[in-house]
Amino acid sequence: MSFEKISVIGLGYIGLPTAAVFASRKKKVIGVDVDKKAVDTINRGEIHIVEPDLDMVVHAAVTEGYLKAVTTPEPADAFLIAVPTPFKGDHEPDLGYIESASKAIAQVLKKGNLVILESTSPVGATEQMAEWMAQARPDLTFPQTHGEESDIRVAHCPERVLPGHVLRELVQNDRVIGGMTAKCSEKAAALYKTIVEGECVITNARTAEMCKLTENSFRDVNIAFANELSMICDKLDINVWELIRLANRHPRVNILQPGPGVGGHCIAVDPWFIVSKTPDLARLIRTAREVNDYKPKWVVEQIKIGIAEYLLNNPHKTSKDITIVCFGLAFKPDIDDLRESPAVEVAKEILSFHKGRVLAVEPNVNSLPECLRQGVCLIEAESAVSDADIFVLLVDHKEFKEIPKKALSKKLIIETRGLW
């Protein structure tokens, strides 16, 4: 089974690194994206997202002629779909991007092609994708009707890489391969084996879909446990970080860290794909989502209590005189990604009620997101330390660990990460 030409549909945080890694193994790769600007950027050998070392790999792949980006699909031997799967309405999965991607590649499919869905998807999405392609190409046969005899092989192989470590994890992590038939799995595994050093473990498409959702839900439930503990400990006047450190000394206890909430485009979204399929059964998974979604609101309540306390201790001041600084806006430490960030949500809320100045320190970005531009001032940590009255620590970026204890000693601090 040889794959001369591989096409990756969707050149975002997953698709672009995947395309670049295949290209670095001297495979001809065609990256497809509807965003013309992203396509032009990649064809210049540059990147439009932030991921360590990705710029070098893409630059080399483009200049050596192994990777090119286009806006409309071209024929290839294998197609990997890595488009977003957000939710809509009441947390219902939105398969719109998969639908358009599969209909677009259907036009160029040939007998013998392999189509892999990499996007995190609700159970049944791979079968649905195969159905969309079958409808668009009645001249070809697909696994749902022709089993092992089908012209086109279809599999789900969820991405599982951690932002910030994508290039390493793409190669080292095990891959779960869920073909619609055994031959579909076999062909998909042969493709991944050209780049993956981890094991390629074979299952069916539905199990592979559920496996990815399970991994992220597992993490969400465990973070919710830590977040719930943090709120309980606050009520009981117990330091939650000390508590977790102590409990984790038990050989079979491993509690995660509380924070201002769960951000990013995966862990805060994927559990809903399980809830939407089985709402009456997924009670714990839903509750975990609710606990984590409530956490930023709880942090805002703590800030309001902090302001009241500050005014009580400084009776000559009004709330207008109080400067609040948010340390960190990203959705997790040491990255520049502010999308779906609970820290941004907290900053936005502060802005909506606080009459005094609001500052933000975010060493990983040069400008604020649209929703904060009117009212929040982005400043350096040093100036914030001298100017602000209330410190809200929202992200445990490495730079914040270096702020001297002395500089914090007389400030009112609201800590969501246990760093200070």
Which residues are known to be catalytic?
A: 212, 266
Nearby residues of 107 by Cβ (< 8 Å), 6 or more positions away: 73, 136
Cβ 109 vs Cβ 137: under 8 Å: yes
Q: How far is the CB of 134 from ligand SAJ (least distance, A)?
A: 28
User: With respect to ligand SAJ, which residue has the nearer C-beta, 256 or 371?
Assistant: 256
247 binds ligand SAJ (CB under 6 A): no
Binding test (CB under 6 A) with ligand SAJ, winner from 194, 257, 302, 364 = 257
Taking phi over 0 as left and psi of -120 to 50 as alpha, with beta for the rest, 375 belongs to: left
137 binds ligand SAJ (CB under 6 A): no
Q: How far is the CB of 415 from ligand SAJ (least distance, A)?
A: 13
Structure tokens given for 318 = 């009004």
Nearby residues of 88 by Cβ (< 8 Å), 6 or more positions away: 94
User: With respect to ligand SAJ, which residue has the nearer C-beta, 9 or 76?
Assistant: 9
* Listed residue (149, 141, 133, 140) closest to 181, CA to CA: 149
108 binds ligand SAJ (CB under 6 A): no
264 binds ligand SAJ (CB under 6 A): yes
332 binds ligand SAJ (CB under 6 A): yes
Region binding ligand SAJ by CB under 6 A among candidate stretches 30-38, 125-133, 254-262, 351-359: 254-262
Structure tokens given for 306 = 């902090």
Q: State the sign of the Cα–Cα–Cα–Cα dihedral 54, 96, 329, 378.
A: positive
Measured distance CA(217)–CA(156) in Å, rounded: 19
Residues contacting ligand SAJ: total by CB under 6 A: 20
Region binding ligand SAJ by CB under 6 A among candidate stretches 33-41, 77-85, 177-185, 263-271: 263-271
User: With respect to ligand SAJ, which residue has the nearer C-beta, 52 or 75?
Assistant: 52
215 binds ligand SAJ (CB under 6 A): yes
Q: What is the dihedral of CA 45, 46, 48, 54, to 10 degrees?
A: 90
216 binds ligand SAJ (CB under 6 A): yes
211 binds ligand SAJ (CB under 6 A): no
Region binding ligand SAJ by CB under 6 A among candidate stretches 19-27, 125-133, 196-204, 261-269: 261-269
263 binds ligand SAJ (CB under 6 A): yes
344 binds ligand SAJ (CB under 6 A): no
- Contacts of ligand SAJ in 27-86 (CB under 6 A): none
* Listed residue (103, 47, 46, 97) closest to 73, CA to CA: 103
229 binds ligand SAJ (CB under 6 A): no
- Contacts of ligand SAJ in 146-205 (CB under 6 A): 159-163
Q: How far is the CB of 269 from ligand SAJ (least distance, A)?
A: 8
259 binds ligand SAJ (CB under 6 A): yes
Q: How far is the CB of 78 from ligand SAJ (least distance, A)?
A: 21
Binding test (CB under 6 A) with ligand SAJ, winner from 331, 372, 388, 397 = 331
Q: How far is the CB of 148 from ligand SAJ (least distance, A)?
A: 31
User: With respect to ligand SAJ, which residue has the nearer C-beta, 73 or 93?
Assistant: 93
267 binds ligand SAJ (CB under 6 A): yes
User: With respect to ligand SAJ, which residue has the nearer C-beta, 179 or 264?
Assistant: 264
Binding test (CB under 6 A) with ligand SAJ, winner from 41, 119, 120, 230 = 120
User: With respect to ligand SAJ, which residue has the nearer C-beta, 326 or 412?
Assistant: 326
| Amino acid code (one letter) for 312 | L
Measured distance CA(59)–CA(42) in Å, rounded: 8
User: With respect to ligand SAJ, which residue has the nearer C-beta, 150 or 216?
Assistant: 216
User: With respect to ligand SAJ, which residue has the nearer C-beta, 94 or 309?
Assistant: 94
Q: Which residues contact ligand SAJ by CB under 6 A?
A: 120, 159-163, 215-216, 219, 223, 256-257, 259, 262-264, 266-267, 331-332
